[in-house]
């Protein structure tokens, strides 16, 4: 960390903008290069001159941007960084980021970047708590945007509450963690399956299940954040493709297996495979090309078993991923069934969860899981699916670091 790392710091308009001067000073102390974009409203709170003096670089703002297009376009500006930090991030810039508005240099760079983005929200408590801001923040976090703060405290507007920008030391700690984490799985190859599969009965009907794909997508994103080269093979879901992940869209279990075999067959064994997909256990014995018509009698549907992707990877011989992780979606005897599945499918860990309808796990944002391995069972507290993904990715990194 430090030397060689580059940050693009976007300073939007808020009273907390003065704190970004301290952030720049501390980043430079750590040998992190900082290049600043100052929005028009940000320039009401800090001067380009102070940013330039502390960052030891030119400051980009809308006044410069027209002439700078030749020297450095917004695309280059946004990509010549390892991390984009928006501090302070006002309600306005969060809204623009969530909806893809690009009406100045800062928001154009944010829309054009392919780099991780961290925001430090700063605004009045009512603006922070407004459903519009909360929804925008959720959208952004769902796309992988990292957030630091806000904190609670007295505000410049004489109110008290959530909305104060994180202190410089918290922002620095978050940046340091980002750079530490970003290389934990670098050079590692990961495969994740996610979502349901659809098994055609006829051209308009299919067999499916309630899986939303949220957990699997979050795991692929978490592995990518740790620097892994992650491939996500997903059945049909409403989840957006996670940033920094190669995504292969499939429909049926057989397509999913083929895509996994292609991903696993590359340059030597995968480091880790996480099978989070709710693969349909069966498919129609025969699919018909014409829509089945009703004729007064209920037709019988003959089924055949689908290939088991997790078991195929677990028993993959020399090409077996070094760490094979399955999920067990159960409605009773959760841990007991998970233990049986772990040995039956020859995998290293099983992440077991209760998906009974009253738990709200399918389609919901929270998950209560048990990690079952050869060493025993760990009960995790109820966490958001994103937090489960981060914790699992951290455990994967530890396991691979322990046995390089």
The number of C-alpha atoms within 13 Å of 305 and in the hemisphere containing its C-beta is: 3
Q: Which residues of 156-179 are buried (b: 16+ CB within 10 A; e: fewer)?
A: eeeeeebbbbbbbeebbebbbebb
Q: How far apart are CA 296 and CA 299, in angstroms?
A: 9
Q: Is 327 in the site for ligand CTP (CB under 6 A)?
A: yes
Sole window of 83-91, 115-123, 149-157, 303-311 interacting with ligand CTP (rule: CB under 6 A): 303-311
Nearer to ligand CTP, 250 or 309 (CB): 309
308 binds ligand CTP (CB under 6 A): yes
Q: Does 213 bind ligand CTP (CB under 6 A)?
A: no
Tell whether residue 32 is a contact of ligand CTP (CB under 6 A).
Answer: no
Using rule CB under 6 A, residue 275 touches ligand CTP: yes
User: Looking at 157, 260, 275, 347, which residue is catalytic?
Assistant: 157
Beta-bridge mates of residue 10:
37, 86
What is the sign of the dihedral through the CA atoms of 45, 175, 123 and 164?
Answer: negative
Q: Which is nearer to ligand CTP, 92 or 353 (CB)?
A: 353
Cα–Cα distance measured from residue 229 to residue 188, given in angstroms and rounded to the nearest whole number: 6
- Distance between CA atoms of residues 360 and 127, nearest Å: 30
Q: Which is nearer to ligand CTP, 62 or 261 (CB)?
A: 261
For ligand CTP, the closer CB: 47 or 346: 346
State how beta strands 83-89 and 6-11 pair. parallel
Site for ligand CTP in 157-186 (CB under 6 A): none
Q: Is there binding between residue 341 and ligand CTP (CB under 6 A)?
A: yes
Tell me whether residue 46 or residue 369 sits nearer to ligand CTP (CB atom): 369
281 contributes a contact to ligand CTP by CB under 6 A: yes
Question: In sequence order, what DSSP letters do the residues of 235-261 get, joined into one string?
Answer: -S-SPPPPTT-EEEE--SHHHHHHHHH
Least Cβ distance, residue 286 to ligand CTP (angstroms): 19
347 tagged catalytic: no
Q: Which of 328, 372, 392, 393 is close enough to bind ligand CTP by CB under 6 A?
A: 328
- Number of Cβ within 10 Å of residue 295's Cβ equals 7
Does residue 253 touch ligand CTP according to CB under 6 A? yes
Asked if residue 259 binds ligand CTP (CB under 6 A), the reply is no
The owner of tokens 């075999």 is: 261
Applying CB under 6 A, the site for ligand CTP has a residue count of 15
CA 354 – CA 347 distance, rounded (Å): 19
Active site residues: 157
Residues that bind ligand CTP (CB under 6 A): 193, 253, 275, 277, 279, 281, 306, 308-310, 326-329, 341
């Amino acid at each position: 960390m430090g030397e060689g790392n580059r940050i693009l710091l976007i300073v939007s308009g808020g009273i907390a903008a003065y704190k970004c001067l301290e952030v720049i000073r501390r980043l430079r102390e750590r040998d992190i290069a900082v290049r600043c974009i100052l929005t028009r409203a940000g320039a009401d709170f800090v001067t380009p001159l102070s940013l330039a003096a502390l960052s030891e670089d030119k400051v980009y703002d809308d006044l410069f941007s027209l002439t700078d297009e030749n020297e450095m376009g917004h695309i280059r500006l946004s990509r010549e960084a390892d991390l984009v930090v928006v501090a302070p991030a006002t309600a306005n810039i969060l809204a623009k980021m969530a909806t893809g508005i690009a009406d100045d240099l800062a928001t154009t760079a944010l829309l054009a970047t392919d780099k991780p983005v961290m925001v430090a929200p700063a605004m009045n408590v009512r603006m922070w708590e407004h459903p519009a801001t909360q929804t925008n923040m959720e959208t952004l976090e769902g796309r992988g945007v990292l957030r630091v703060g806000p904190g609670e405290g007295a505000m410049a507007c004489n109110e008290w509450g959530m909305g104060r920008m994180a202190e410089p030391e918290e922002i620095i700690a978050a940046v340091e963690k980002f750079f530490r984490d970003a290389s934990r799985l670098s050079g590692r190859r990961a495969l994740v399956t996610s979502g349901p599969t659809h098994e055609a009965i006829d051209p308009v009907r299919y067999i499916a299940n309630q899986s939303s794909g949220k957990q699997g997508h979050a795991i692929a994103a978490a592995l990518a954040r740790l620097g892994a080269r992650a491939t996500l093979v997903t059945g049909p879901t409403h989840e957006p493709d996670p940033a920094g992940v190669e995504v292969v869209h499939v429909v049926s279990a057989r397509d999913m297996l083929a895509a996994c075999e292609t991903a696993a067959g590359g340059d030597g064994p995968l480091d880790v495979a996480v099978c989070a997909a709710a693969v349909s256990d069966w498919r129609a014995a025969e699919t018909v090309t014409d829509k089945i018509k009703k004729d007064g009698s209920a037709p019988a549907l003959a089924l055949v078993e689908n290939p088991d992707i997790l078991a195929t990877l677990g028993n993959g011989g020399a090409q077996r991923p070094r760490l094979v992780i399955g999920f067990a979606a159960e409605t009773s005897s959760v841990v007991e069934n998970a233990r049986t599945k772990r040995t039956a499918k020859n995998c290293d860990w099983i992440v077991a969860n209760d998906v009974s309808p009253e738990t709200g796990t399918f389609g919901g944002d929270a998950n209560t899981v048990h990690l079952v391995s050869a060493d025993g069972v760990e009960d995790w507290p109820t966490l958001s699916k994103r937090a489960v993904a981060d914790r699992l990715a951290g455990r994967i990194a530890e396991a691979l670091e322990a046995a390089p």
